[in-house]
Amino acid sequence: MEQLINKLQKSFKLSDVKHQRENLTFVTVKKDSALDLVTHCRDYEGFSHFVLLSCVDWIEDGKFQLTYLLNNPSGKFDLGIRTFISRDNASMTSAHLLWRQIATYQRELKEMYGIDFPGSPRVDESFILEGWDEIPPMRREFDTKKYSEDTYFPREGRGSNDPATYMKSKLYPDDEK
């Protein structure tokens, strides 16, 4: 894997290289190089299998991290290609032409995080949340508790506990004296 990373480093400005384990490495590239690197890995480095596309919301930094996870079946190793995009008007070039199933991941990320992938098939159609018109629910500023309280009625016989207080009482019952 080290040999591949050194080779890729010559053509792409890789940063934050992390060898997670012997058969899994993550690299970070700038947004405008991400799909070029994904395409290069597919066409020239044997990464013929697209595993997944994921997102992390770094709200404090005003960014989303997109990770394209690719698999090289003959080499039996995975490469995660990470890139960062702005949370404001979040948009990324569509990669659906590389592997058709990427369109499904992009559609989900559009619905759950509000990230646009212009040109991706059906990206503007509801995926899971039919009729949803609130802030995308996977964004960190989405208030799950408030949504739950506003949407669902309380059921008789159900109580609610502050998680920190409840766990403290269960873990340290003698401290309550």
pLDDT tens string 101-143: 999 999 999 999 999 999 999 999 999 999 999 999 999 999 9
Residue 176 has pLDDT above 70, yes or no: no
Q: Measure the CA–CA gap between 12 and 15, rounded to whole angstroms.
A: 9
**How do residues 19-63 score in pLDDT, each as one tens digit?**
999 999 999 999 999 999 999 999 999 999 999 999 999 999 999
Q: What is the pTM of this model?
A: 0.85
- In sequence order, the β-bridge partners of residue 15 are 28
Residue type, 162: D
Name the phi and psi angles at 30, rounded to 5: -65, 155
Kindly report the CATH number that applies to the domain delimited by 2-143. 3.30.460.80
- In sequence order, the β-bridge partners of residue 65 are 56, 84
C-beta neighbour count of 84 within 10 angstroms: 18
CA distances from 31 to 36, 83, 93, 122 (A): 10, 5, 9, 23
- What integer pLDDT is reported at residue 174 of this predicted model? 84
| Residue 140 CB partners (closer than 8 Å, separation 6+) | 57, 59
Q: Measure the CA–CA gap between 79 and 52, rounded to whole angstroms.
A: 11
